[in-house]
A and B are shown apart, each in its own frame.
Chain A
Amino acid sequence: MSSAGKSLPHDSAVGHVTGRALYLDDERPMLGELHVGFVGSPIAAGTLEAIDATEALALPGVVGCWTAADVPGHNLFGLISVDEPFLPAERVDYVGQPVAVIAAETPEALAAARRLVRVDCTEMPPVLDLDTAIREARFLTPQRRIARGDAGRELAKAPQRLSGVFRSGGQEQFYLESQAAIAYPGEEGRMVVHSSTQNTTEIQGVVAEMLGRGQHEVVAICKRMGGAFGGKETQASLPALMAALVAHHTGRPARVIYNKDDDMCVTGKRHEYVTRWDVGFEDDGRLLAIRFEFFSNGGAFTDLSPPVLDRTLLHADNCYYLPHVELLGRVCYTNVPPNTAFRGFGGPQAMAAMENVLESIAQHLDVDALDIRQRNLYGVGERNVTPYGQVVERNHLPEIFTQLAESCDYRRRREEIAAANAASRLTVRGLAITGVKFGISFTATFLNQGNALVNVYMDGTVQVSTGGTEMGQGLNTKIQQLVAEELGVDPRRVRLMPTSTEKNNNTSPTAASASTDINGAAAVKACREIKERLAAFAAGELAKQTGESGLQPRDVCFADDAVFSTHRPEHKIDFGGLCMAARRSRVDLGARGFFATPGIGFDQAAGQGTPFFYYTQGAAAVEVQVDRFTGELTVPRADLLIDIGRPINLGIDRGQVIGGFIQGLGWATAECLLYGERGELLSHSPTTYKIPAATDVPPVFNVALFDNDDNVQNIRRSKAVGEPPLMLGIAAWAAVKDALAQVDSAASRSFTLPATGEEILRCLSLAPQTAPQPSAAMPDG
C-alpha cells in the first residue's frame, strides 16, 4: 500500500466542514479567564509622556493595566536586531504601537476600557514614505551587495541601455483568523502559551525572556492557524507576550484576540519597494549587464527585513542569466508597523522588478517579450550560474517556457489580440508569460533543520509531532502520508499532534516553503529507526512462526498494515499485533528524527555560496483586458505550468498552486494599502482593502504540473510548493504593462505594481495624443 502521492483529504477536513476544528478563540474559556487587549500609540512618531488608566480602571470588570514598567524581564526583542520593544517606555514609532496592556472580565468591559486610557505624547515629524527615507538616508541596515563581473563597465559599453525606477506596493496578509494567544499560568511561575504562530520556538523564547525565566519554564503550543502567510512568523509574539504578562501578574488565564481592524492597523505586511534599475543589452535583447538598487520599506523596526532583502537580492535574476551584475539593497526606516514575512519573502518584489525590465526591453526593441525572455533564460550546462555563484542544476526553464507557450497557444493569441486591439476603441488586451525560479531553503543556513517525534502505540497506531505548524498548507496531511508510507500502514492509523515546544525543541519557523522537506524528512528518519528495531524483532517472530531459517531484518517488509518476509509474503503478522508483542519484549516503539539539509551554505558578507537545496520552477501565461476609459481590469484567462517534482499530495499541492497564484494576482493587480497623512492605515478592513474573491478566478484557468522525476535529493523527489506559485501572479501585471504599451509607450513606462484601476487610468492618461478619446457619442463615466 502506498499513501504518499495520493490526494488524501486534509487531516482536519471533517473538522473544518463541521465547525469542530478548533482555532484558538474557539477553545472554551477556563475558569477566571481574562480578556486582554492593548492600547496603541495615537501618533506615528514621538515621545511617550504619560499613560493614564485611572478612568479605565474605575470601570466595573476592568482588572488591570500594565505598561513597560511592569515587564519583569526583557522588554526588547528581535531575531536579527534587538530593537523592538514589547511595550515602549519612551519612544513611539508607529500609529497603534501597543503601549499598554489591559485586562477585563468581559470583552465589553475590555473594549470600553481601551477607549478610556489616555496616552499623552509629544509628536515629532514622522517618516511616512520610502522616498523621504531614501533622501534622508534613514536606513535600518547596512547595504547588502551581490555582484559578478563589472556591471559599470559593461553597462557603459552596451549597444542598448535602459534605466528607470520601479515601484511595488505592500500587501496585507489578511489571514482570516486574527492574531491570537492564550496564556495559562502554571506552577511556580511557569507558563503555557497557546499561540496562533508559525514559530512555537520563538513564542517560547520571547515569553521566557519577557518573564525573566529559562526556556524550560515555558511551553508554547500551536494546533492550527486560520491562515498565516508569513504574518504569524514573528508577529505572533506581541499578542503572546501580552497574554503572558497578564497571566504572570494576575495568576489567571489570559486571552488576546485582535479584532480585524487592530490586526490590520498594527501588524507588519509585505514590504513596499522602490527599485532603481539600469540595464545594458544586445540589439536582440540579450542581457549584458544589469544593476538593481533595491530599497525596501522596513517600517519602524528590523523584524525580518534583512533576510527578506537577502531573498530579494537572491531572486533579482529570477529565471534569467545575468553575465555582469550588481545587486544592492537597503532596508529603510519609516513610521509604519515593522514589515515582515509574507509568502514569497522578498522574492516577488525582485522578480517583478526583473520582469519589468524584460517587458521594457521588449517594448523598446519592439520584439515579443516572450522572445526576449526565452533568449535570456538560464541554460542547461551553460549560462547557468547565478550571480551568487550557485549552479542552476536540473534546469527545466527552457522546456517549461516552450511547453507553456505551446499549450496556451501563445503565438496565435498574440495575433488575435493585436487584431482585437486595433479594432477596439473601448478595450485593450495584453498577454504575458513570466517565469519563476524560487530557491528552496532558508537563506539563514542554520534554520534548515527539522525534528520530529514519532510514537507508535501498542495497538499499532501512531502519533507524530514535528516542529512544523499547520496553517492550511497541508503540512500535517503530507507528513501523515509520509509516515504511513514509511511504516506501511493505513494513514488512518497516523495522527498528527499539535506543535509544542515540549515535544519539538529549537524548531525553525514554518516558513520558506520548506516545512515538509525538513520536518517530513525528520519524521521519516524517526520511522526508519523504529522500523529497524521492529524489523529485528519481526525477523525472529516470523522465523518462529514459519520455521524459515536465517531470516534477516532486511528481509522483513512493512506493507498493508502488516509485516512479512519477502521470501514468504503470504505469511503476515498484523502491524498492531507486532507492536503489542514488541512492547512485551521491551522493544522501544518511539523515536525522534532530526534532519539538517545537506550541502548548502551562503556567505552573506561575500554574497556568494549555495544557499538553496534546489529550485522550484514554473511559468504563467496571463491574458488581461483593460477598459480604456475606466482603467478597469479583467483577467479572462490564465495558464500555469509548474514543476513541483513528484507531489506527496497532489490535491493539496494543486490547491497551493491555484491559491498561491490567485493571492499573487491580488498583490499584482488589486491590493492597495493607503495611509493617512499622520501615518494611520486607512485601508484597514475588507471594505477598503480588496483581496481576491471568487469572481477573480479567471474564467479560463488551466493548471498543469510539469512532469519531473529528477529532484532526487529531496524527500520522495517532491518539491516545495508553498511560495513559488504566488509569483506566477506577476504575469498578470506584465500583461497589463503589455496592454498599456499597445496604447502608447508613455502609458506603460512609469507603470507601478499593483495594477489597480486607478494606476491603469493614471498611466492611460499619460498618453493623451495617442490614446483613443471618448467620442461625443460615448456616455459619461
Chain B
Amino acid sequence: MPDTFTIRVNGTEHAVATDADRPLLDVLREDLALTGTKYGCGEGACRACTVLIDGEATQACITSIETAAGSEIETIEGLAASGQLHPVQQAFIDQAGMQCGYCVPGQIMTAVALLRSSPQATDEEIVAEMTGNLCRCCNYENILAAVQQAAGRAPDASAP
C-alpha cells in the first residue's frame, strides 16, 4: 500500500502517494516531471542523479522517498528559478563544461553544494569533491575549470 510523503522541492511542497522504498529519482522524474535530474547507473556510483537534500549533494537514485521525506530538496530546475543562471551554471557555459551534457546537472549540483560550504574551495578540494561525478565524454578538465571559475578563480587551463 502506498503511503503519503511530503517533500519540499525547489521551495514547493509536494505530497506524494507512493511506496516507501521508491527512489527519490523516480518520484522527481515520473511524479513531479522534474527530468533535469538524470538516471545514470541506478546504484549511486555515477552521480548523474545528484540533488541537494538539506544542502547535501546526494544521489537521488539510491535515496528512498521515505528517507527524503520532510527534507528540503533542490534540483537543477531550482537553480535558475528566478530566470537568472546560477554562477555555477554560467561557469559551465563559459568553460565549455559540457559535451553530451547528460552528466551536467549532477556535476553542477555537486559543485553548488561544495561552493556553498566552501565558496573559495581550493583546486584540491574541487577535484576531491567532483571526482565522484562521472563524465564519459571525459570532459573533466573543462568541468574542473568551470568550478574553479565559480570559486572565483580564473582557471589556469580554460578553453581558449
Chain A residues proximal to chain B, CB less than 8 Å:
7, 9-10, 12-23, 25-26, 28, 107-108, 173-178, 224-229, 257, 259-261, 471-474, 650-652, 654-656, 658-663, 666, 685-687, 691-697, 701
Contact = CB atoms under 8 A, between A and B. Distances in A.
A694 B143 contact: yes
A471 B99 CA distance: 8
Contacts of B92: 13, 16-17
Contacts of A257: 39
Given A19-B76, A694-B133, A654 B101 contact: no
A19 B77 contact: yes
B45 A13 contact: no
Given A19-B76, A19-B105, A227-B102, A693 B134 contact: yes
A16 B72 CA distance: 24
18 contacts: A13-B96, A17-B92, A17-B105, A19-B34, A22-B35, A176-B102, A226-B102, A228-B100, A472-B100, A472-B102, A652-B96, A655-B142, A658-B141, A659-B137, A686-B41, A694-B131, A694-B143, A696-B140
B35, B40, B90, B102: residue with the most chain A Cβ atoms closer than 10 Å:
B102
Given A22-B35, A694-B144, A259 B42 contact: yes
A685 B43 contact: yes
Contacts of B130: 694
A9, A17, A107, A696: residue with the most chain B Cβ atoms closer than 10 Å:
A17
Given A18-B85, A18-B89, A662 B96 contact: no
Contact of A226 (B89, B93, B101): B101
B48 interface: yes
Interface string B119-130: 000000001101
A666 B134 CA distance: 13
B160 to A, nearest CB: 5
Contacts of A19: 34-37, 75-77, 105
B39 A25 contact: yes
A693 B131 CA distance: 6
Contacts of B40: 176, 260
Contacts of B139: 655, 658-659
A17 B100 contact: no
A12 B99 CA distance: 9
Contacts of A692: 138, 140
A227 B140 contact: no
B108 interface: yes
Interface string B5-22: 000000000000001000
Contact of A21 (B30, B46, B101): B101
Interface in B23-74: 26, 29-30, 33-43, 45-46, 48
B156 to A, nearest CB: 10
B137 A17 contact: no
Nearest to B133: A694
Contact of B104 (A16, A174, A655, A697): A16
B140 A663 contact: no
Nearest to B142: A655
Given A686-B134, A691-B134, A225 B159 contact: no
Contacts of A701: 141, 157
A221 to B, nearest CB: 18
Contact of A107 (B26, B48, B80, B133): B26
B73 to A, nearest CB: 14
Given A17-B92, A655-B99, 5 more contacts: A17-B90, A18-B85, A176-B46, A259-B42, A658-B141
A454 B135 CA distance: 33
A195 to B, nearest CB: 16
B64 to A, nearest CB: 14
B153 interface: no
B136 interface: yes
B96 A655 contact: yes
Contacts of A224: 100-101
A15 B101 contact: yes
B98 interface: yes
The 9 closest A-B pairs by CB, nearest first: A19-B36, A472-B100, A226-B102, A16-B101, A662-B138, A19-B76, A26-B35, A472-B99, A686-B45
Contact of A474 (B26, B29, B99, B132): B99
A226 B144 contact: no
B36 A695 contact: no
A175 B134 CA distance: 11
A37 to B, nearest CB: 14
Contact of A12 (B46, B85, B101, B143): B101
A23 B89 CA distance: 19
Contacts, number: 181
Contacts of B113: none
Contacts of A225: 100
A176 B138 contact: no
A15 B38 CA distance: 13
Given A175-B136, A260-B42, A655-B142, A17 B157 contact: no
B103 interface: yes
A692 B137 CA distance: 10
Contacts of A26: 29, 35-36
Nearest to B102: A226
B101 A697 contact: no
A107 B134 CA distance: 26
Nearest to A697: B140
Contacts of B115: none
Contacts of A663: 136-138
Contacts of B90: 17
Contacts of B42: 259-261
A466 B100 CA distance: 18
Given A176-B46, A227-B137, A260-B41, A654 B98 contact: no
A474 B96 CA distance: 11
A471 B134 CA distance: 17
B21 to A, nearest CB: 11
B102 A23 contact: yes
Nearest to A23: B102
B96 A17 contact: no
Nearest to B36: A19
Nearest to B143: A694
A685 B144 CA distance: 25
A261 B96 CA distance: 30
Contact of B159 (A108, A176, A654): A654
Nearest to A470: B100
A554 to B, nearest CB: 36
A60 to B, nearest CB: 14
Nearest to A29: B30
Nearest to A174: B136
Contacts of A686: 41, 43, 45-46, 134
A226 B26 contact: no
A474 B101 CA distance: 11
A229 B130 CA distance: 23
B160 A227 contact: no
Contacts of A18: 36, 76-77, 79-80, 85, 89
Contacts of A662: 138, 140
B12 to A, nearest CB: 16
Contacts of B140: 662, 692-694, 696-697
Nearest to A688: B45
A7 B77 contact: no
B14 to A, nearest CB: 17
A12 B105 CA distance: 13
A108 B19 CA distance: 11
A233 to B, nearest CB: 15
Contact of A473 (B30, B34, B97, B99): B99
A473 B136 CA distance: 12
Contacts of B37: 19
